[in-house]
Structure 1
Amino acid sequence: MTAMPGENRPGLLRHLPLMLILCIAVTGSFALRDYLSFDTLRANREALLMFRDQNLGVLAAGFVALYVVIVAFSLPGAAVASVTGGFLFGLAAGTVLNVLAATIGACAIFIAARAGLGATLSAKFDASEGTAGRIRDGLRDHEINVLLLIRLVPAVPFFVANLLPALVGVKFGNFLWTTAIGIIPGAIVFTWIGVGLGEVFDRGETPDLSLLWEPHIIGPILGLCVLAALPIVVRVLRGRKEI
């Protein structure tokens, strides 16, 4: 029988959230590039500090909401937002707010992708055999370690680390807690930079985000990457010995 014109509509609607995110991400990368920047923060820092002193709770809620939108729609300015968290709220509170907002935003992308394209790809992945099937089984056997690894490795773009797990069918619960834990080291670094942001602005300079790549910073993070990858390596080596 021929499908009626409206029969595929529910399937198309499932893809709408992810399509919306991608469209806003592309538009925002051009339209907001000059607004979500350190120059904007520099120009408004006195007003932000004054508002913080009078309305701390409101500013914290607004900051988290804005950061969630930035992450959920993959807008430019996530690094600026993380540094701003340290500038406005200090190291401890800033790190907590940064991790909270980034985790919520990441989960929004995951859910949108899983509801649409991820559901289709995951079903095909489950039905696949051969090499694709072995990759599927390997990912599921090492799901938590792989999720932690892609969060800890600084070279993995945050958007990719949010989208890829949804497309290969990982469990949402594992995605949630590994995201919250895995982004803590990087969040501490960026928040730490923000704590001293006022002095940087007073000198007429721009924050140096390359601090992440300093040996005393990147070293411990890479050490955590090794710990996350170690169980995968051990299982692979054991599997080869059994063959």
Structure 2
Amino acid sequence: MDTVQHMARGAGHWLKRLWPLLLLLGVAGLIVAMGWHRYLTLEHLANNRESLRDLIEGHYLLALAAFVAIYAVTVALSLPGGAVLTIAGGFLFGWLTGGIASVIAATVGATVVYLVAKTTLRDFLVARAGPRLKRFADGFREDAFSYLLFLRLVPVFPFWLVNLAPGLLGVAFGTYVLTTALGIIPGTFAFALAGNGLDSVVEAQQAAHQSCLAKAGEGGQELCPYGLDPSALLTPELIAGLVALGLAALIPVAVKWFRRRPA
């Protein structure tokens, strides 16, 4: 009987600790199961751009608040679609307002992931981590600002992973929020600027699609797919610029390393 009560108390303790994580996973699973995440595409944005603009014109502040909320929830649930939403922000609200709203929303959503990881998973990880992982975490925290700024500027790892890892490694809250907000500014505004000129891209794509259908005849839908890929906006010049900014963020770490070297 005592063993059963002890197990029940243990299960209740872990459920109390893990409920934020379980809630995020449950909501994300529901959205994927219902297929709602499929609406986060450039095609859907392009096909409904007139109705969305009419809605914004009539209820600007409410629409902007809804955009920020949807973006923050998308990031918090680690759903795909962040790039599409950033482009949509520039497309619907202009590059400046859309860019600022995207930075705020992405930072809020990423902070939710950080807090959930820190409060629900970090103790479990620390209790089972070996000395090598502990030394890595200590070294990461020592130069957390530079490392996180580099990871935000350079899209080497998935956004959700960079949101999760600092919470597990015990990075300070202020450092995490500041590096997230600063690090995503260049890429966010690059996509918002692209979204600001999306009308011409959509019209060109639609004209090319219709021309292809006219030439292909029957079966043209399979031969002439219509698609807008946000990854195409990651030009070599943009990637090179982000890498340069990321390397600049690591300069303090390099200077500290050289100073520690024995003469």
Residue 6 (structure 1) aligned to one of 5, 8, 17: 8
Alignment of 1:147-166 (within 5 A): 147-166=148-167
Residue 124 of structure 1, CA deviation: 5.5
Instruction: Give TM-score, length-normalised by structure 1.
Output: 0.89
- Local SS of the residue matching 2:99: helix
- Local SS of the residue matching 2:6: coil
CA–CA distance in structure 1, aligned partners of residues 48 and 124 of structure 2: 45
Structure 2 partner of 1:19? 22
Percent identity of equivalent pairs: 37
Cα gap change, 1:93 to 1:122, in 2 (>3 Å): farther
Q: CA contact under 8 A between 1:145 and 1:229: conserved in structure 2?
A: yes
CA–CA distance in structure 2, aligned partners of residues 182 and 135 of structure 1: 22
**2:255 matched to 1:234?**
yes
Alignment of 1:201-220 (within 5 A): 201-204=202-205, 206=228, 209-215=231-237, 217-220=238-241
CA–CA distance in structure 1, aligned partners of residues 147 and 37 of structure 2: 32
Letter of the 1:218 partner, please give it.
I
Structure 1 partner of 2:215? none
Instruction: Give TM-score, length-normalised by structure 2.
Output: 0.82
Q: CA contact under 8 A between 1:32 and 1:76: conserved in structure 2?
A: no
- Local SS of the residue matching 1:164: helix
- Local SS of the residue matching 1:4: helix
Q: CA contact under 8 A between 2:42 and 2:230: conserved in structure 1?
A: no
**2:68 matched to 1:64?**
yes
CA–CA distance in structure 2, aligned partners of residues 64 and 54 of structure 1: 18
Aligned residues: 238
CA–CA distance in structure 2, aligned partners of residues 20 and 111 of structure 1: 13
Letter of the 2:42 partner, please give it.
F
Give CA deviations for 1:14-49 in whole Å, capped at 9, x if unaligned. 112223323444554563343211121122110111
What is the RMSD computed on CA atoms of the aligned residues? 2.1
Answer with 1 or 2: which has the greater Rg.
2
Structure 2 partner of 1:76? 80
Cα gap change, 1:22 to 1:240, in 2 (>3 Å): farther
Residue 84 of structure 1, CA deviation: 0.3
- Local SS of the residue matching 2:8: coil
CA–CA distance in structure 2, aligned partners of residues 133 and 228 of structure 1: 24
